[in-house]
Chains A and B, each alone.
Chain A
Amino acid sequence: MNVATILFYLLSAVILGGGLLAVTSRKIFRSAVFLLFSLIGIAGLYFLLEYEFIAAVQIVVYVGGIVVLIIFSIFLTHGSGGDMEKPVLIRAVFSGLAAILGCALTYLFIKEQVFIKSNAAAIEPSANNIGSQMLSTTEHGYILPFEVVSMLLLAALIGCIVIAMKVKTEK
């Protein structure tokens, strides 16, 4: 077992543990913080794969942006400090069973699957390359998805403004 393998299992433990705690914690603020650990772990995985740029994006966008937004919106809602309701026992049991069985099934199938290694030349994951691929129309060019995402962001922005601009009067 080399260092990379040990690191992989350590990071996976952080990701899965963080995820599990985020789902099971009774305080919503703590859930957000556990989510943070999970997302940092994913950035660590990218570093391990030597995808430095993606890892940096993961940290800047998810850790720096999204979790902070989530924490802000938790503070803006009522009762952010209180405990959340306990789920009904039977529901907890069944969702636990569904999660465990789903994991087991997927694991079995993945283990059985013979993955074929691609012969295609690897693409250098440098920021430079990623940038030019995003704006290229040739093979491995992603300009169309890039533009569609920008439309999506525009629509989301407008939708948020429309909803947030007006003060709601409760019916």
Chain B
Amino acid sequence: MGTEFLLVMKSEMILTGIIFLLLILKVWDGIKSNTSLLYFVNILLLANFLWGFCCNTEGSLFNGMYQTNELIFLEKSILNLGTFIISLFAFDYLKENDNTLEFFILLLCTLLGMDFMISSGNFLMFYLGLELSSIPLAALCNYDLHKTKSSESAVKMILSSAFASCILLFGVSMLYGTTGTLNFSEMAPQLSTSKLQMLAFLFIFSGFAFKLSSVPFHLWTADVYEGAPAPVTAYLSVISKGSIVFIFITALYKVFPNFEHTWYHVLYLSILVTITVGNLFAIRQDNIKRFLAFSSIAQVGYIMLGISSTSIMGISAAIYFLIIYTFSNLGVFGVVSLVSSQTGKENINDFKGFYTNNKFASWVIAICLFSLAGIPPTAGFFGKMFLVTAGASKGDYLLVIVAVMNMVISLYYYLRLVKAIFIDNNDQPIASLKGSLPLRLALIICLAGVIATGFVSGLFEHITTLAGK
């Protein structure tokens, strides 16, 4: 093995480099001012994102344990961009925090885990990546050290993810026992219709469903999201979920193609309940983070609808939607993070009359909510349209009808928030909030992203060509 592996694994190499740099900075303790530290980290993350477009070398390393191609590089870039935006949002939250550097070390460790996970060609690497991406997240959930709710969220997160991992590992062990290999490519042809392997598939599927928080494995989501600090919640709902979707696609399409008949039916049921339950519960939430938790559950249902089509269109629709979802959901979380870090308010009722004093932030959150709901001029419409089109290609119209009907329901609760912000009167609306420069920059990036990704039609075609390779 020459030096070429450095280029193939460049995303992981750079992230590891940044993690150790931050660790050394922490030990050295030379930069006292939190603000300059935050600027420095943000610049590093921006560089990390931009570097993702340069010198991409495809390849497979360590006997197929690690593999990468153009599509995986694109997926990693999406995650890097999302992390960069979140680190901009976290600026206000971390300004006064004593453990700024540790926050980023933990955050980047989870990102490293996700990179390893989506590049894995082997169940061992997949599992390790999954753990690396979820254990440090539990510590991040606990970052509001003085709040018991935050600790509760961390404990719920770690217990439920340990449980999910156990089920997944049990499934993997059965597959290993019946095929004698952990490599995706060697395992796939050996999978037949044996009942034990089918059971193993169901266990692995449940593990994935847990991490994706699709119904009926969603119970941890709302509690964890509510207790975690707003930037961490954003990270959980966008980056963490996105990475699982990427590896979920690989697992279904590359490892279990022989089980397509089975997994289509499992996915079918899962989509029906996920979309419906997510939407119906979102209606009754008062806390905005819980509300967004249920809305993200419903969105996962739509992504699974695209995946269920078993086509290149399905892959590219899911990835395209995830890009849009990253911008839209992060836009909403940016405003929530701004409000919660400065006023501590997280209730939907507190947002009444928000428009009075915060014109720009109100427009950002409104446009992002429109995008999440899938209203035409915004990118969310195109994303949902492709997902539903991909889902309809199998000809199961009941599924598509339920999905589209649910889009109407979701419109109700997204607009409820928009109504609270723009129309409802409030005697004491939230005062004018002056976000820091990075936070405003992040809001602008999200807004531009929501509008631009809908109009740059080349993007979807680009993803389709990459997925088709």
User: What's the count of A-B pairs with C-beta under 8 Å?
Assistant: 101
Residue A145 contacts which of B125, B149, B195 (CB distance < 8 angstroms)?
Answer: B125
Which chain A residues in 93-124 approach chain B with CB under 8 Å?
A: 105-106, 109-110, 112-113, 115-116, 118, 120
- Can you name the residue of chain A whose Cβ is closest to the Cβ of B16? A151
* A151 partner residues in chain B, CB cutoff 8 A: 16, 19, 109, 112-113, 132
A156 to B105, CA, bound (A): 11
Which chain A residues in 119-171 approach chain B with CB under 8 Å?
A: 120, 137-139, 141-145, 148-149, 151-152, 154-156, 158-163, 166, 168-171
6 examples of A-B residue contacts, CB within 8 angstroms: A105-B199, A148-B128, A152-B131, A158-B109, A159-B136, A166-B98
Residue A160 contacts which of B139, B149, B194 (CB distance < 8 angstroms)?
Answer: B139
Residue A166 contacts which of B113, B135, B145, B149 (CB distance < 8 angstroms)?
Answer: B145
Is A162 within 8 A of B99, CB to CB?
A: yes
Is A144 within 8 A of B66, CB to CB?
A: yes
Is A152 within 8 A of B180, CB to CB?
A: no
Question: For the complex, is B146 an interface residue (Cβ under 8 Å from A)?
Answer: yes
* B112 partner residues in chain A, CB cutoff 8 A: 151
Q: A152-B132, A163-B154, A166-B145 are in contact. List 8 more A-B contacts (CB 8 A).
A: A115-B178, A144-B66, A151-B112, A152-B131, A156-B135, A159-B136, A159-B139, A161-B102
* B44 partner residues in chain A, CB cutoff 8 A: none
**Which of A115, A144, A155, A168 has most B Cβ within 10 Å?**
A155
Is B146 within 8 A of A143, CB to CB?
A: no
* A141 partner residues in chain B, CB cutoff 8 A: 62-63
Closest-CB distance, B135 to chain A (whole angstroms): 6
A113 to B145, CA, bound (A): 50
A113 to B195, CA, bound (A): 7
A105 to B140, CA, bound (A): 39
- Can you name the residue of chain B whose Cβ is closest to the Cβ of A152? B132
Is B102 within 8 A of A162, CB to CB?
A: yes
Closest-CB distance, A43 to chain B (whole angstroms): 18
Q: A155-B109, A155-B136, A159-B135 are in contact. Are A113 and B129 (CB under 8 A)?
A: no
* B178 partner residues in chain A, CB cutoff 8 A: 113, 115
Q: A105-B199, A113-B178 are in contact. Are A171 and B139 (CB under 8 A)?
A: no
A143 to B178, CA, bound (A): 25
- Can you name the residue of chain A whose Cβ is closest to the Cβ of B110? A155
Is B146 within 8 A of A168, CB to CB?
A: yes
Is A152 within 8 A of B105, CB to CB?
A: no
Is A152 within 8 A of B135, CB to CB?
A: yes
* A106 partner residues in chain B, CB cutoff 8 A: 199
A135 to B138, CA, bound (A): 30
Residue A109 contacts which of B139, B151, B196 (CB distance < 8 angstroms)?
Answer: B196
Q: A155-B132, A162-B99, A162-B102 are in contact. Are A169 and B146 (CB under 8 A)?
A: yes
Give chain B's interface residues, CB within 8 Å of chain A: 1, 16, 19, 61-63, 65-66, 98-99, 102, 105-106, 109-110, 112-113, 116, 124-125, 128-129, 131-132, 135-136, 138-140, 142-143, 145-149, 151, 154, 177-178, 180, 194-196, 199
A90 to B10, CA, bound (A): 53
A30 to B99, CA, bound (A): 38
Is A158 within 8 A of B102, CB to CB?
A: yes
Is A143 within 8 A of B132, CB to CB?
A: no
A171 to B131, CA, bound (A): 31
Residue A113 contacts which of B65, B180, B196 (CB distance < 8 angstroms)?
Answer: B196
A159 to B136, CA, bound (A): 6
**Which of A115, A144, A171 has most B Cβ within 10 Å?**
A144
Is B199 within 8 A of A109, CB to CB?
A: yes
A106 to B202, CA, bound (A): 12
A170 to B147, CA, bound (A): 7
Residue B105 contacts which of A105, A149, A155 (CB distance < 8 angstroms)?
Answer: A155
Is A115 within 8 A of B177, CB to CB?
A: yes
A141 to B136, CA, bound (A): 27
A142 to B125, CA, bound (A): 10
* A170 partner residues in chain B, CB cutoff 8 A: 148
Residue A137 contacts which of B1, B98, B113, B129 (CB distance < 8 angstroms)?
Answer: B1
Is A155 within 8 A of B135, CB to CB?
A: yes
- Can you name the residue of chain B whose Cβ is closest to the Cβ of A165? B99
Closest-CB distance, A70 to chain B (whole angstroms): 14
* B154 partner residues in chain A, CB cutoff 8 A: 163
- Can you name the residue of chain A whose Cβ is closest to the Cβ of B107? A155
Is B196 within 8 A of A162, CB to CB?
A: no
A155 to B15, CA, bound (A): 13
A154 to B20, CA, bound (A): 10
A137 to B1, CA, bound (A): 9
* A154 partner residues in chain B, CB cutoff 8 A: 109
